[in-house]
Amino acid sequence: MLAVEARNISKTFISRERSSFYRGRKKVVEALKNVSFEISSGEVFGLLGPNGAGKTTMIKILSTLLLPDSGEAYVNGYDVVREPEKVRESIGVSLYSDRGFYWKLSGRENLLYFASLYHLEPGWAKDRVDELLSLLGLEEDADRLVEEYSTGMKSKLNIARALLHDPPVLFLDEPTIGLDPNSARKIREIILELKKKGKTVLLTTHNMFEADVLSDRVAIINKGKILAVGSPSDLKRRISSKSILEIELIGVKDNGAFETLRGLDGVVSMAHQWLDPSAGRVDLKVILDEKGSLREVLEHLLRTDNKMLSVKSIEPTLEDVFVYYTGERLESQA
């Protein structure tokens, strides 16, 4: 059975820029362009893409918080536009941008308050809150004020709130962003625990490791378009006949030092990331097909006046799949 179905969803935002120079200039952003995908019941599905790719917009549409301009979407079989109440009963949502807790209440009091908003029967709600505090590992901090919570604790509380009414489908927007490695690992364990309980999870992330370890299937999204969908191993297999080089350079003045590589025979895609702009340190990924030559790439780079710190031939990761399809890195560039 399909838990989520999106068919040709498009969404454009029109806003006014507020810069003093271009006061009121109209800005049009096509956040989603004909996006389609399906998620089976019980699946963990990752939407992987960089900042601004359209991931949160997609989650907001599926959560009935935003209306699509065109296209159709169904959650748990219900139409997000025509049956929003039924959709809301079926989902738990944890949006990165909106934690919205009451800081002067404890974690437990917050959950009990939100349970009352969901009209959960008070006796049942108390047990449910205890169960969720334990699932999320928040028992010890349950009676502290939320204003004293760390970012990780607030993220866990956010997921607990999404689970209060025991919905079959969960939408988690960047569930581990800004967390220390331990808290991030804990959240990932919780997501896998939820999968074991039969929940369907749609998570958005710009972290390829997270998408890889958690998702049954991943959709790679960039600039409002889905570029590829498949299991992490499927996606990596699509580029397994290519050679992926990771080259670290120092003393690079500008992109011109490596951009000309694109013209070399056999270079199918490449993307860079500035590691330390003041020292000109750049991490460069180059994807070659069978016509490409490592020697030619290195000779080309040595002709410029930067230094090569390391060259590695690596196994494909989801980030390389992203580079292959977009010619960009997933992480932000300087």
Binding interface with ligand ATP (CB under 6 A)? 13, 15, 29, 31, 49, 51-57
Closest CA to 286 of 310, 269, 311: 269
CA dihedral sign, ordered 179, 181, 187, 188: positive
Work out how close the CB of 166 gets to ligand ATP at its nearest, in angstroms, rounded to a whole number: 27
Q: In this complex, which beta carbon is closest to ligand ATP, that of residue 75 or of residue 133?
A: 75
Cα separation, 201 vs 62, in Å, equals 12
Q: In this complex, which beta carbon is closest to ligand ATP, that of residue 67 or of residue 117?
A: 67
Q: In this complex, which beta carbon is closest to ligand ATP, that of residue 55 or of residue 161?
A: 55
Work out how close the CB of 183 gets to ligand ATP at its nearest, in angstroms, rounded to a whole number: 19
User: Cβ(37)–Cβ(229) under 8 Å?
Assistant: yes
Cα separation, 114 vs 116, in Å, equals 5
Work out how close the CB of 193 gets to ligand ATP at its nearest, in angstroms, rounded to a whole number: 25
Work out how close the CB of 181 gets to ligand ATP at its nearest, in angstroms, rounded to a whole number: 20
The single residue listed with the structure tokens 């004020």 is: 145
Q: In this complex, which beta carbon is closest to ligand ATP, that of residue 8 or of residue 41?
A: 8
Work out how close the CB of 172 gets to ligand ATP at its nearest, in angstroms, rounded to a whole number: 12
Work out how close the CB of 330 gets to ligand ATP at its nearest, in angstroms, rounded to a whole number: 11
Q: In this complex, which beta carbon is closest to ligand ATP, that of residue 2 or of residue 29?
A: 29
Q: In this complex, which beta carbon is closest to ligand ATP, that of residue 178 or of residue 197?
A: 178
Q: In this complex, which beta carbon is closest to ligand ATP, that of residue 16 or of residue 197?
A: 16
Q: In this complex, which beta carbon is closest to ligand ATP, that of residue 246 or of residue 328?
A: 328
Work out how close the CB of 217 gets to ligand ATP at its nearest, in angstroms, rounded to a whole number: 18
Work out how close the CB of 30 gets to ligand ATP at its nearest, in angstroms, rounded to a whole number: 8
Q: What is the phi/psi pair of residue 299, to 5°? A: -60, -40
Q: In this complex, which beta carbon is closest to ligand ATP, that of residue 3 or of residue 9?
A: 9
Work out how close the CB of 114 gets to ligand ATP at its nearest, in angstroms, rounded to a whole number: 24
